[in-house]
A and B are shown apart, each in its own frame.
Chain A
Amino acid sequence: MKTIQLTVNGVQCSITCPPAKTLLDVLREDLGLTASKECCGKGECGSCSVLINNEAACSCLVLAGQAEGQDIITCEGVGLTPNLDVIQESFVEEGATQCGYCTPGIIVSAKAFLNGINHIPTTDEIKTALGGNLCRCTGYTKIIKAVQSAAAKNNSKKETITG
């Protein structure tokens, strides 16, 4: 067993667990943050995506020991029902979630992507950014729309602030 310090959704946490436990299991079992899901356990599907120091990563491929001192954001950290993030709002408005099991991972990837750009992305840019997240229900069309409309909202907010 090893004690690990990490920051999750802005909160400093101290976890005692086997060092080979995955970050995904630490989040789900030790911290009760179950938005991140295990689907393939191989880094193929993106259902377990979290932000590590603001970059999207598959938490099923990260061991607890590697998360020492890192800053982790899960889908719960992006926003909760009383105060949805713009991306989450757009996913609801566009109907970009169906069974919803892959959705938290996609929200996290979309958040990482939109954090890094200042324009309304093209369909091709979104396809590249979210290429690592599998969804079996939606056919992705509404996900593309939701990311675009979230970017548009972000931009108009920025314009309001700067203007």
Chain B
Amino acid sequence: MTDNQTNPESFKWVGKRVKRIDGPEKVTGELKYMTDYHFDNMVWGKVLQSEYPHAKINHIDTEEAKKLPGVICVLTHKDIPGFNGFGIVVPDQPVLCSKVVRCTGDAVALVAAETLEIAEQALSLIKVDYEPLEVVADAELAMTPSAPRLHPDGNIHSQVIIKNGDTEKAFQEADIIVENTFYSPRQMHAFIETEGGWGVMDEEGFITIRCPGQYAYRDRMQIARSLAYNPERIRVISSPIGGAFGGKDEITVQIYLALLAMHTNGRPVKIHYSREESVIAGIKRHPFKVQMKTAAKSDGTLLANEVRAVGDTGAYASLGGAVIALAIEHSCGPYKIPNVDLEGFCVYTNNGIAGAFRGFGVNQVCMGIETHMDMIAEKLGVDPIELRKKNVYHQGEVSSVGHVVKSSVGTFKTLETAENCDLWRNREKYKTEVSEPWKKRGVSLATSFHGIGMGIGLPDYGAASIELLQDGKFLVGVGCEEIGGGNSTVYAQVAAEILNCDISNIHVVQGDTSRTLDGGTVTASRSTYTGGRAVATAAPNMVKLLTQTAAEMLNLPASKVTINTNYISAEGKKLTYQSIYQYLFDNRKTTRVEGHFYLPKEKEGIEGSGGAPHHLYGYLTHVVMVEVDTLTGETDVLRVVSIPDAGKVMNPQGLEGQTEGGAVMGIGYTLFEDILIEDGYHKTRNFTDYIIPTIRETPLIETFPVEEAEATGPFGAKGIGEVVMIPIIAAIMSAIHDATGARIYHLPATPERVFNALKSLKNKKTQSAR
């Protein structure tokens, strides 16, 4: 590490409100997303989705579709040269179904045609002879022996268990026990850019796929596996992305594009899902049923927690197993509870497909443990912040899942900040300022955490390259895609800081198997931490290359060479970066360096936990104020205070972008959003009936970061992308209770649900008065 890496006072770029490097081309619309490319000789691809949520396929007849003028090819499972399946962990989802369909998102055939209209018509001419089968529409029922088996090993895809201490004894000794069941919705990512892209095969059989994704190298592996193709002969370009949030982590249309490209005589083929196609085919957040029983002593010390969580993963695994594992790992909150009995099931049904989504299972359990914290505080008559402060683990202490947390822990500081923020200190005053006499206000808080990186048992590394260009600028290459969060700007900041140059001298390329190294996914709140650290590892190598080359050029020892802002000097002589490039080029020497970083891991895993514990976590506390209309049950979130522990903040503007966007996504999850599926059929089809927050629902959001530096991160940074939407869910639920006295256990907290909760509260009061 150089001096300017260790002394924050001297930072020029890191920690500053640096404007996004991709801002100008985004605000003018000049940036080309994958589906913005259009070619004169291009053909259109379409996917035939299954008519039934569960059916046997007897026969597929494509003859008539093939005869339609303008149709270039019609493909079925018979046209897949390699393995007919995909899936990040267990590839159990067919690329094109052959014998059975398990959800309406299943693909049965592909068409390429001269126009989109011809392709659509061709789909209607494909005759599929289905034999409908009994639909498995409920995860609990799916686990019973009489349910139809959707996969050869049954309907339980995975089960995770973590047990510590003696919960039975603890419940006997407890002064207080709270026990409830929580239901959470099937949230849709609702990225504004639906899935799409294009594929082309050149004369020599080299395939290029341009399709937004969250891990180009893994997408390439999955494509190659289905095509039985050398992955080196496939290029995947996966960045930029018009929003993903986990929804483009799994394969979307990449394999379809590659298959079609093999049959279009070198013409580029484009697929761009309509919103309706995207709603049906795209993965969703797992709906959970969480049964939780929590015990405490009268002084507020948490004694025990018992959890049974069932997640509906739909027809295929994708990352469902990992989601349930992460949920269980986080199901006790950032607390030290000595006795725990935690169990989670990931269950197959015919309800679409669920997979990765910002928060990755933690959202669904946080609402349980944090509601219980609120209830315990209420019953004991203690301050909810004091109760949490008493039970949080600190760095070096043992967590509820039983491991010593060695990395930085900011929970306590976030709670202290919450205690001192204006909204909390003056909450009683704010609560009286209702906008109408029949409206009631409540202020509450919740805290949570989220693992960073992959946990135990999975490879987790970062890699970056830096190349000196002819014009004297630097090209920083990182595999992690620009998903919207601003990691490209962070990478440029890190490079500019260490290379001591202006940020305009840094170009960043991401998500391209031909131009970037394999550096893992842009998921798991890992890309700032991992990619940033990889750039911070590569940059000193570039400094070394520049210094040594300058020394060689000037015939001086390297120790005499100084890297100044935007130029190099030694003993009064100045060298430009262009001249150093020219020297290296003329002497046939490399102008490129690399940096590699392996994420620190825990040495011992927790048996049966499916990947716990993580080495590193990000922490966050939310304080919210809501106003509930007692006549309609409608809830407005008026104010949000977001207090993240992101380690060293690389770019305050980027961090606020995450906390503000995460808070609003959390509001949508808590109050409106749910994809309704009945008997395997989607009832919600587009933004006409799937309501996400608009600008009108945006509350006043304040962000007060707590910087608990993490020694292993770049300049002390950690990840934050997911936890920003988690505690707000429970905080809103508790604030509704604070306002009205009614508790909500079933999300989203729609006006109907809140109204009914108010009504039954009223009935209870009337009865007890009698």
List residues of A whose CB falls within 8 A of some B CB. 28-29, 32-42, 44-45, 47, 74-76, 78-81, 84, 88, 91-95, 97-104, 107, 126-128, 130-144
16 A-B pairs with CB atoms under 8 Å apart are A32-B38, A34-B32, A35-B28, A37-B36, A40-B688, A45-B192, A84-B27, A92-B23, A99-B240, A100-B31, A101-B33, A127-B695, A131-B695, A133-B695, A139-B660, A140-B693
> How far does the Cβ of B41 sit from chain A's closest Cβ, in whole Å?
14
Is B246 an interface residue when CB atoms closer than 8 A count as contact? no
Given contacts A107-B27, A144-B698, whether A137 and B657 have CB atoms under 8 Å apart is yes
Pick the residue among A34, A40, A94, A98 that contacts B275 (CB under 8 A).
A40
* Residue contact A75 to B656, C-beta cutoff 8 Å: no
Q: Which residues of A contact B23 (CB under 8 A)?
A: 91-92, 95, 97
Closest residue of A by beta carbon distance from B667: A139
Is the beta-carbon distance between A80 and B28 smaller than 8 angstroms?
A: yes
A44 and B192 form a contact (CB under 8 A): no
- Which chain A residues border B27 with CB–CB below 8 Å? 75, 84, 88, 91-92, 97, 100, 103-104, 107
Q: How many A-B residue pairs have CB under 8 A?
A: 184
Q: Residues of B within 8 Å of A, CB-based: how many?
A: 56
Determine if A142 and B28 form an interchain contact, defined as CB atoms under 8 angstroms apart: no
10 new A-B contacts at CB < 8 Å, known A99-B241, A100-B27: A40-B686, A42-B687, A47-B192, A74-B29, A80-B30, A92-B27, A95-B653, A95-B656, A100-B22, A100-B26
Closest to A44 in B: B687
* Residue among B38, B192, B687 with the highest chain A CB neighbour number at 10 A: B192
Known A40-B686, A84-B24, A130-B695; judge A139-B662 contact (CB<8 A): yes
The distance in angstroms between the C-alpha atoms of A132 and B194, with both chains bound, is: 19
Q: Which B residues fall within an 8 A CB radius of A? A: 17, 19-20, 22-33, 36, 38, 189-194, 240-245, 272, 274-275, 483-486, 653-654, 656-657, 660-665, 686-688, 692-696, 698, 701
Question: Chain B: which residue is nearest A104 at the CB level?
Answer: B29
Instruction: Looking at the assembled complex, report how far the CB atom of B113 sits from the nearest CB atom of chain A, in whole angstroms.
Output: 16
User: Complex formed: what's the CA distance from A107 to B698 in Å?
Assistant: 18
Q: How long is the Cα–Cα vector from A88 to B28 in the complex, in angstroms?
A: 7
Residues of B contacting A107 in the complex (Cβ-Cβ under 8 angstroms): 27-29
Decide: A45 and B30 in contact? CB cutoff 8 A.
no
CA distance A131 to B26 in the complex (A): 21
CB nearest neighbor in A for B241: A99
Which chain A residues border B698 with CB–CB below 8 Å?
Answer: 127, 139-141, 144
- Expressed in whole angstroms, the Cα–Cα distance for A99 and B665 within the complex equals 15
> Is A39 in contact with B701, judged by CB distance below 8 angstroms?
no
Chain B residues within 8 Å of A141, by CB: 656, 660, 698, 701
Determine whether the beta carbon of A29 is less than 8 Å from that of B38: yes
Query: Are A139 and B29 in touch, CB under 8 angstroms?
Result: no
Given the interface pairs A92-B27, A101-B193, the reply to whether A139 lies near B242 with Cβ below 8 Å is no
Q: B242 touching A41 by the CB < 8 A rule?
A: no
- Contact among A88, A130, A137 for B484, CB-based, below 8 A: A137
A38 CA to B195 CA, complexed, in Å: 12
Q: Are the C-beta atoms of B687 and A139 separated by less than 8 Å? A: no
Question: In angstroms, how far is the closest chain A Cβ from the Cβ of B504?
Answer: 13
